[in-house]
Structure formats: structure tokens, C-alpha cells
Chains A and B, each alone.
Chain A
Amino acid sequence: MLQYQAGDASAFDSLYEKYKADVYRYLLRQFDAGTAEELYQDIWINLIQAKQRYTPSATFRTYLYTITHNRVRDHWRRHAHAHVEPLDESNAATHTDHINPERIHNDRQAVAALLEGIKLLPAEQQQAFLLKVQSGLSLEDIAEVMQTSRESTKSRLRYATRKLREHLKGIWP
């Protein structure tokens, strides 16, 4: 990023190729394809515009996902959505009600059910989970990106995991 900041456009290409898939999937797991593409473009444009303000205080991965998380959070604020529901244990139960166990016969179907369950998670749990399993961030990095404490991050991950397990209950071991 520092090389790109200094005027080396090819440095940006390297960064982009390295992270583009993870960012895109991170968005695609939360939104429909159209919204994901819109947000994806905004995130990279924001990164380009902020290049002069970039300071290497954290890893580039953390910096990139901070921009990503902020853009997603803005999107949720602008569009009232079920994801802003307060954390409630009963939500997971209601979300699993509409899954038809008969449709799921193999791992592929389990994956589909998992992705569906991710989209039904509360926003904070959903993002914490995706930052971990999709983007590979550590607890500390997730806490930094989400501007919360490490313990809160662990709590969100714990709730997310439990709800997904319950979501897959009966169709995936």
C-alpha cells in the first residue's frame, strides 16, 4: 500500500488480486449479488481515495476490512433490515423453522444450508463469523475492525456458531 501511495500503480494491482476474492465473498455471504457488487466497488474506490491518508498502523488486511466493515455498517443503517434485531436466543429458533430437512441430503446441501444460516444471523454475529472463517482474521483483528473488545468478539462468535449449529441440526452432524 505504501508503494501504491508513492505512485506505483502496479502495487495496487498486486493488493487487489490478493484480496479481491475474499472481500467479494465476504459481501456475497451477506447480500444478494447486486448489492454485493455495489458495495464491493464502493469499498475499493474508498480505499483508492484514502490512499494518501493511509498510515501503516495495522496490517493491510485489517485496514481493508475496516473499510469494508464501515461500508457494510453504513448500508445497514440506510436500509432497515432484520439483521439489526437485538441479539435474542429465540431468533435462531425462528430462523430454523422454515428450513426443510428433506431438501438436505449431502454436504453440498449442508453448505447451502450453512450459507443460508449465515445470512439469517444478526449483523454483528454474521460479520464476526465471516471475518473469521472467510477473511481469516484473528480475534484481535476482528475486534479492531469491528471497533469492539476481544471479549465481545468472542461472544459474538460463540453465539454465531451456536445458532449455525442449531440451524444445521438434524441435517449435518
Chain B
Amino acid sequence: MSDDKIVKLHADEDPQLEALYQQADKPVPPAHLDNIIKQAAREPQSPRRSKLTPWFAGIAASVLVGVLFIRLYPTALPPHPASYLEEEIRSEHAPATQSMARESVPQAPADSDALRDTPAKAPEAARLNQYKKSPPGELKRAAPDSSLGKAAPVSPEREKSETPASPALNAAGSSSATVEEADMALDMQTPAPESASHKAAPEAQADLEHIIELLEQGKTEDAKRAYQEFRRLYPDYIIEPATTARLENLR
């Protein structure tokens, strides 16, 4: 039988050829490959995936932290100091006419001007600029809007310490019945009604100067008696903070 006939007969099969093939050597894979593959099969994740996992984990963690930061940052932070100062300055610079309209209290333009010129304003503005990153013009533009809102209350202690020599303060204080009323009048930037004490302010101040002289001379008992007399004459007179400090030991 010729080779051509054999090929035609067997077509796609040739058992003799296959038998010859089976006589070939039967090598097996090296042992080190067996160990590598079996070890890889026991690992939780394949090496190729283990390269990708930290990358994905890093991206996911970054995104998560970013989202949490964006969502929680505004609520976690305390109010910015600049916003507090800005609100104070807005309340102090608010036009007196609008405050008047809200509170139905007569306006005193001179008081507003006096408050605006208070020496304490300059350091306050400097502190505000220290905190604020935006240009100062923004604060000025925001002032008219803030005037529509209610003016922020000012504590009596702060008001006394920051405006010790203001004539407007003295005027407001001398016309009010009590310290609280005087503070309220200052907050509202309106003068209190005039009274006998207001008219007697120069005399009262002269009496106080006399009391201070007694203290400086070491006549403490005389000073105490003079002060008691002073209070009897001017029960609602508001003493300037600087003078108050000097008279502190008499109280």
C-alpha cells in the first residue's frame, strides 16, 4: 500500500502514528514548578490581584476621606473668629436710622459718630484683618446687608473697657436711670433722656477728683465718707472705668 493510499484511508486519524508518538519519553514538570503552582493555589489571592488590591484600596480610602471631610468639616469647626468680629463691627457700624426704625427709639446722630470714632475701633479692625483672608472691601460691602438684621448685643464690661474716654458714653451714662439702662442705650446707639444727674455731671466729676486726692493723700476714711456723700447726691452717676478702678477699695 502506497503512502498516498495510507493518508487517504486514515484521513484525520493515524493509529500507527499515534502509537509511535506514545513511545516518546514522558517528561514531567520540574518539582520547583509544582511547588510554585501549589503554593499559589493556596494563597487567598493570586499575585496579580494582590498588586491591584492596594491600588484600589488607596483610591477608595482617599475618596472616602475626601467625602467625609467635605461633609463634616463645616459642622466640626467652631465659628471663625473673623465672623464674630465682623458681626460686632457690623452692629456697631449699622446706621442709626435703621436701628431706630426697628426699635422705635429717637435717633441721635452725634452718638453714632462718636461711637464710630471710638479709639477701640482701630485695634478691632486690625484684629479682623488679621483673621480675614478676603480683601477689606468685602466687609464694607457686607455692612449694608447686616444692617437689616438685629444688632449684636455688646457686653457691658467690653463696652466700658473699650470706650473709656468717649464723651458720648458719658452723656449716655449720665442720662440713664441705671447702669443696665445706660448699656442698653449704648447698644441701641440712642441717648437716654436727660436728668438732673446729667446736668450735675461737672460737679460730680469735681467731687470725684476731690475724693481721689484724699485717697492719694492717704486719707482713706475721709475719702470713704466723701464717696458716701457723693453717692447720696448722685446715685445714678456712672463713673468712668479709670476712676472706678482708683475708687475700687472704697466700695
Query: Residues of A at under 8 Å CB distance from B?
Result: 4, 9, 12-13, 16, 20-21, 24-25, 28, 37, 40-41, 44-45, 48-49, 107-108, 110-111, 114-115, 132-134, 139, 153-155, 157-158, 161-162, 164-166, 169, 172-173
Contacts and interface: CB of A to CB of B under 8 A. Distances in A.
B49 A49 contact: yes
Interface in B11-29: 11-14, 16-18, 20-24, 26-29
Contact of B37 (A16, A155, A164): A16
A161 B33 contact: no
B40 A48 contact: yes
A132 B16 CA distance: 14
- In the A-B complex, the 7 residue pairs with the smallest Cβ-Cβ separation, listed nearest first, are A157-B12, A49-B46, A24-B29, A158-B12, A12-B41, A44-B37, A154-B12
Interface of B: 3, 6-7, 10-14, 16-18, 20-24, 26-30, 33-34, 36-38, 40-42, 46-49
A133 B15 CA distance: 9
Nearest to A132: B18
23 contacts: A9-B41, A13-B41, A20-B29, A21-B29, A24-B27, A37-B29, A41-B37, A44-B37, A44-B40, A49-B46, A49-B48, A108-B23, A111-B23, A114-B20, A133-B21, A134-B21, A154-B11, A155-B12, A158-B11, A161-B11, A164-B14, A165-B3, A165-B6
A157 B22 CA distance: 17
A40 B34 CA distance: 10
Contacts of B14: 161, 164-165
A111 B33 CA distance: 27
Nearest to B22: A133
Nearest to A11: B41
A111 B19 CA distance: 10
A166 B4 CA distance: 9
A113 to B, nearest CB: 9
B17 A169 contact: no
Contacts of A9: 41-42
A25 to B, nearest CB: 6
A40 B33 contact: yes
A111 B12 contact: no
Given A16-B41, A20-B29, A161-B11, 16 more contacts: A9-B41, A12-B38, A13-B38, A21-B29, A37-B29, A41-B33, A45-B46, A49-B48, A107-B20, A111-B23, A114-B24, A133-B17, A133-B22, A157-B12, A161-B7, A164-B14
A166 to B, nearest CB: 7
A155 B21 CA distance: 20
Contact of B3 (A107, A134, A166): A166
Contact of B13 (A13, A41, A157, A166): A157
A172 B23 CA distance: 14
A114 B34 CA distance: 28
A91 to B, nearest CB: 16
Given A45-B46, A114-B17, A161 B40 contact: no
Contacts of B34: 16, 20
Contacts of A45: 37, 40, 46-48
A21 B24 contact: no
Contacts of A37: 29-30, 33
Contacts of A155: 12
A28 B27 contact: yes
Contacts of A12: 38, 41
A9 B44 CA distance: 10
Contacts of B17: 114, 133, 161, 164-165
